[in-house]
Chains A and B, each alone.
Chain A
Amino acid sequence: MSFMDILALIIPAAIVSAAPLIFTALGGVFSERSGVVNIGLEGLMLFGAFTGAVTIYYGEQFGLDGAAPWVSFVVAMIVGALFASIHAVASISLKADQVVSGVAINFLAAGLAIFLTKKIFNAGQTPVISERISKSDIPFLSDIPIIGKLFFSNAYLTSYLAVFVALIVWYVLYKTPFGLRLRSVGEHPMAADTMGINVKKMRYVGVLLSGALAGLGGAVYVASISGNFTHSTITGQGFMALAAMIFGKWHPLGALGAALFFGLAQAISISGAQIPGLQDIPKVFLLIAPYVLTILALAGLVGRADAPKALGTPYEKGKR
């Protein structure tokens, strides 16, 4: 295998496994930038995966064909937002501890999704879907020498969507009045309140958006990678996304980079076993590589990660 072949193996694989993480991590950015810790990303993603699998399955029955996955993305976003509203009510209106509420979301989602799967399909898992997002070459772009082969061939459309959404989130958060308001309620809600910004409303929007994006991440995972929903479809991806968000310093593009980095580390650890040269390294080292790389990157390259100042504290009007 030539060096190019190796790159052509690893880079598309990295992009594929990163897409669900990117969506979910971007969701985390919205919520935490508004000042609400969202440890419930895992649960929201899980429920999105469940919704996605069910919607695609029934979409196929109703003859949506190739549109079924795309419809499921929209449905998963709506359901994710609804699910996140529980977290929003608990942690914004009722001023509950945000971490506890997030953990509750995780438990609730895992239990409810399996329970509903049993009720609907009378089985521990959903049937395997036949309409998926398939890998394809992007027209024209895949013909570009070198770059085309690495970045634009044999890839999922959803991966590019993820990168595109990251750019949109960056624009919204940093270039629009809405973004400024959202960030300000996460940094100094009292100052924002005196300027006439509705703190609660902004936080609600942040949490609901995070639910929508995490739900989308879960649905994308089902439509492109696993093909059905079982109790073990989402095991830890939500927490990985949370880590990617912190790794990316609560910045949308940082989160994008971190998620891609996780994907790359995993791709190297897997494909490495078949690559000449890397083949002779004991397997254990390849298996722990993603985690070691992450620790090294966190310790050496990232530097100080500043969380939004008001993160985790409910806003009380008039409190000093």
Chain B
Amino acid sequence: MKKKLGLMVTAMLTAGTILAGCGSSDDGKSSGGGEKKDFKVAMVTDTGGVDDKSFNQSAWEGLTKFGKDNSLEESKGYKYLQSTAQSDYKPNLNSLIRQKYDVVFGIGFLMGTDVETVAKQQPDAKLAIVDMVVKGDNVANITFSEHEGSFLVGLVAGMQSKSNKVGFVGGVNSELIKKFENGFKAGVLTANPKAEVLVQYAEDFNKAEKGQQIANTFYQQGADVIYHAAGGTGMGVFTEAKNRKKNGEDVWVIGVDRDQHEEGMPENVTLTSMVKRVDQAVYEVSEQAMNGKFPGGKIVEFGLKEDGVGIAPTQENVEEKSLQSVEDFKKKIIAGEVKVPKTDAEFEEFKKNLK
């Protein structure tokens, strides 16, 4: 399998090189090829860094794939700048714009205000922000329907909880994380109307000990599945679950943003994960921009339909009937039969209709 993949990549690269060679040989004639080759995309990571096994890494994978598919050269046709502190965001964005990159992605909502300011100062530049909506006609806003993905993992949690009690640990209480919470709660209640959902925000994305204590409190109160949308704080949730599993308790964690199966090993505490395909989104927007259809000033939402969110490929701990129900609801959500709530108000509405 690996060999085949390697072969394919090699073939693709070779083809790319040859094709690129063709393009440059008749530079003057085919303006189309020439234009494509001049296209440059870049991204600025947030403080997580490009190999954070999460957003930034996923975005970079998308960009790399885009670069390779269009035979761009790394660090000339596509590249990233790493931010080590919040104060790096603006200089990094500006530097890439000055280097004439056609689209500059800001990864993560932490960069929201900086992207907005830079977009105002550089009206000719094209910017894109992931996970946030900012003002400006030259900014594409990439958002995800996290509530839809969270709804699916909520179904799994609701069906596989034996105590009828599940928990949700949020990073910082914000509009974004609320989408996770409400989608999850809706999913749990849909699958299991008797279930109770405990909710708490750590108000920090980087404090593992806080995550551990919240998880401890939840499990102590009888919850047996916890969904975390809390970044590094979530590592503490895994720690607590592992401790309890070692002592013979039947507890689970649901991961977020990417397949967190590995984090749950060796005790195998990851039930499933809600994945966000940032790579897909970055690729798509880059392509649109290259074809002259840059969605500036618009909100591009990647949901279940666009394959922007979903449940993780590792499904060994998910029961057959939960998977079945996930598939059913996935179809219903895509068809618009089920509308997953995003905000607290929408959730209350959803709950009323459920009864």
Interface residues of A (CB under 8 A from B): 1, 5, 8-9, 12-13, 16-17, 118, 122-125, 127-128, 130, 132, 134-136, 224-228, 230-233, 235, 266-267, 270-271, 273-274, 283, 287
Interface residues of B (CB under 8 A from A): 47-53, 198, 200-203, 205-210, 212-214, 216-218, 220-221, 232, 235-236, 238-239, 242-244, 246-247, 262-263, 265-266
Contact B209–A16 (Cβ < 8 Å): yes
Interchain Cβ contacts within 8 Å, total number: 100
- Which residue on B lies nearest to A237, using beta carbons? B209
Contact B210–A266 (Cβ < 8 Å): yes
Contact A235–B206 (Cβ < 8 Å): yes
Contact B235–A226 (Cβ < 8 Å): yes
Contact B48–A9 (Cβ < 8 Å): no
Bound CA–CA A8/B213 (angstroms)? 12
Min Cβ gap A74→B in Å is: 22
Counting chain A CB atoms within 10 Å of each CB, the highest count among B218, B232, B266 belongs to: B232
Bound CA–CA A136/B244 (angstroms)? 9
- Which residue on A lies nearest to B244, using beta carbons? A135
Q: Which residues from B are CB-within-8-Å of A227? A: 208, 235, 238-239, 263
Bound CA–CA A226/B232 (angstroms)? 8
Contact A124–B212 (Cβ < 8 Å): no
Q: Which residues from A are CB-within-8-Å of B207? A: 235
Contact A274–B265 (Cβ < 8 Å): no
Q: A17-B213, A232-B206, A274-B200 known; A128 and B221 CB under 8 Å? A: no
Min Cβ gap B178→A in Å is: 14
Min Cβ gap B18→A in Å is: 30
Contact A17–B209 (Cβ < 8 Å): yes
Counting chain B CB atoms within 10 Å of each CB, the highest count among A9, A124, A132 belongs to: A124
Contact of A13 among B206, B216, B232 (CB under 8 A): B216
Bound CA–CA A16/B47 (angstroms)? 28
Contact A132–B242 (Cβ < 8 Å): yes
Contact of B49 among A12, A13, A231, A233 (CB under 8 A): A231
Contact B217–A9 (Cβ < 8 Å): yes
Q: A9-B216, A13-B216, A225-B236 known; A135 and B53 CB under 8 Å? A: no
Min Cβ gap B53→A in Å is: 7
Contact A274–B198 (Cβ < 8 Å): yes
Min Cβ gap A237→B in Å is: 9
Contact B221–A1 (Cβ < 8 Å): yes
Contact of A233 among B50, B53, B198, B208 (CB under 8 A): B208
- Which residue on B lies nearest to A123, using beta carbons? B51
Contact A271–B213 (Cβ < 8 Å): yes
Q: Which residues from A are CB-within-8-Å of B53? A: 123-125
Task: List 29 A-B residue pairs with CB atoms under 8 Å apart, sorted by A's residue number.
Answer: A9-B217, A13-B213, A13-B217, A122-B51, A123-B53, A124-B48, A124-B51, A124-B53, A127-B262, A128-B262, A132-B239, A134-B246, A135-B244, A225-B209, A225-B212, A226-B235, A226-B236, A226-B239, A227-B235, A227-B239, A230-B52, A231-B47, A231-B49, A233-B208, A233-B232, A235-B207, A267-B213, A270-B202, A283-B201
